[in-house]
């Protein structure tokens, strides 16, 4: 195995800088394959494109169809040494952008930036996977850990179909690298993520004519207004607990006492204990108005990605490899969740290894093209590392 020295780091950085135009062209191809989460056909076409590329560099691939989504693409080296431990490269190919977005949000390359729907979140990360594996293949670089790849098509909508596959893989790998974009214009890696919960509260009252018999009705909207205040009081910003009543609905007509109302609540927490605490708080809610019934459903769907000892080791490894490339990495906590939340429960996980830029889910979405080379070099050094410490 080639020693992990400043020399090899410099050689890799030079290699990827020389490959910059090819990488940008590949990323542009990925962007032109518009791939909204709800479009199974579009997802399949993009995954086939990635599958063919992986096959060309010596990878066995397996397409796993989805029932309601575009499914997943799994890949591993064709001639993998089964005695070697394995490491996971995890990414998603779906975006939040509808088909046709390119007509109003075209790809552009100006002032060192590349814009386009899905460029930052996270087709640049997919590009890094391909070119990092290509470099390892072309240069005969090896490590004691074999890479396996999973690209899903439902991350932006909660990974409901792919989560069980991610869990199975996370349980058998030594570490997971999540290719989500880094945070902020300085490209901070995501070493912690909040856990996400979704709760639905349905209130049932009693209908009555608002003019003739208002006293005979029980207004479910009024009851919901009391519950909303109780939910708001659960926020604890110092501890990182947020409870947001995101949508409400209720009633059937202005002249009818509302017999039903409903609220959907988004909950975010920094650790498992707070998730359990806030879940208990939500389920302990009681009605204020007599003879009202409330139904509470939901829970914490994505557990927090916490700064565990093994995750900290992986972060320290990334910092040391970045220094070989002349980079000083910073870390951050992300308020949103990713599939890294899932892998972190089972194995050492480092998230935000994509390319620096800005505008996830926004019209100005872009990456810095020079950073595509640097971040791919970093990923390659990490894949070549023999353990969490070397």
Which regions of 37-85 does DSSP assign to beta strands (E)? 59-64, 72-77
Considering the four listed CATH numbers 3.90.1150.10, 3.20.20.80, 3.40.190.10, 3.40.630.10, the one that applies to the domain covering 6-194+304-384 is: 3.40.630.10
The CA dihedral of 234, 239, 240, 244, to the nearest 10 degrees, is 10
Q: What's 195-302's CATH class?
A: alpha beta
What residues of the chain score a pLDDT lower than 70? 1-4, 388-390
pLDDT in tens, 212-249: 999 999 999 999 999 999 999 999 999 999 999 999 99
End-to-end CA distance of the chain: 13
Q: Where are the beta strands (DSSP E) in the chain?
A: 59-64, 72-77, 86-92, 108-110, 113-115, 146-152, 175-178, 189-193, 195-204, 242-250, 260-269, 293-302, 331-334, 348-350, 357-358, 366-368
Give residue-wise pLDDT tens across range 46-100.
999 999 999 999 999 999 999 999 999 999 999 888 889 999 999 999 999 999 9
CA-to-CA distance for 31 and 155, rounded, in angstroms? 17
Q: In what order do the strands lie in the sheet with 357-358?
A: 108-110, 113-115, 366-368, 357-358
Name the residue ranges covered by the structural domains of the chain. 6-194+304-384, 195-302
Buried b (16+ CB within 10 A) or exposed e, 312-335: ebbbebbeebbebbebebebbbbe
How many C-beta atoms lie closer than 10 Å to residue 187's C-beta?
24
């Amino acid at each position: 195995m080639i020693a992990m020295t400043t020399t090899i780091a410099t050689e890799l950085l030079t290699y990827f800088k020389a490959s910059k135009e090819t990488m940008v062209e590949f990323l542009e191809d990925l962007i032109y394959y518009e791939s909204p989460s709800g479009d199974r056909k579009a997802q399949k076409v993009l995954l086939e494109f990635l599958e063919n590329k992986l096959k060309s560099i010596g990878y066995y691939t397996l397409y796993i169809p989805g029932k309601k989504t575009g499914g997943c693409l799994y890949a591993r080296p064709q001639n993998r040494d089964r005695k070697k431990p394995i490491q996971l490269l995890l990414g998603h190919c779906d975006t939040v952008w509808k088909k046709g977005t390119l007509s109003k949000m075209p790809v552009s390359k100006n002032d060192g930036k590349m814009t386009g729907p899905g460029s930052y979140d996270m087709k640049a990360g997919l590009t890094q996977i391909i070119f990092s594996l290509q470099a390892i293949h072309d240069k005969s670089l090896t490590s004691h850990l074999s890479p396996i790849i999973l690209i899903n098509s439902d991350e932006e909508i909660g990974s409901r179909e792919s989560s069980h596959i991610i869990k199975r893989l996370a349980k058998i790998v030594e570490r997971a690298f999540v290719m989500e974009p880094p945070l902020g214009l300085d490209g901070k890696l995501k070493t912690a993520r909040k856990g996400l919960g979704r709760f639905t509260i349905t209130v049932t009252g009693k209908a009555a004519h608002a003019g003739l018999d208002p006293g005979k009705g029980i207004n479910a909207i009024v009851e919901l207004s009391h519950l909303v205040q109780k939910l708001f009081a659960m926020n604890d910003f110092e501890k990182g607990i947020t409870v947001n009543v995101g949508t409400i609905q209720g009633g059937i007509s202005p002249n009818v006492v509302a017999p039903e109302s409903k609220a959907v609540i988004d909950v975010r927490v920094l650790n498992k204990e707070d998730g359990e605490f806030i879940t208990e708080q939500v389920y302990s809610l009681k009605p204020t108005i007599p003879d009202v019934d409330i139904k509470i459903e939901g829970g914490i769907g994505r557990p927090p990605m916490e700064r565990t000892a093994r995750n900290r080791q992986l972060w320290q490894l990334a910092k040391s490899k970045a220094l070989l490339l002349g980079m000083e990495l910073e870390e951050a906590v992300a308020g949103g969740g990713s599939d890294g939340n899932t892998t972190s429960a089972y194995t050492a996980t480092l998230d935000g290894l994509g390319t620096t830029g800005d505008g996830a889910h926004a019209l100005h979405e872009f990456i810095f093209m020079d950073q595509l080379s640097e971040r791919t070099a970093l990923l390659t050094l990490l894949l070549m590392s023999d353990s969490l410490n070397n």
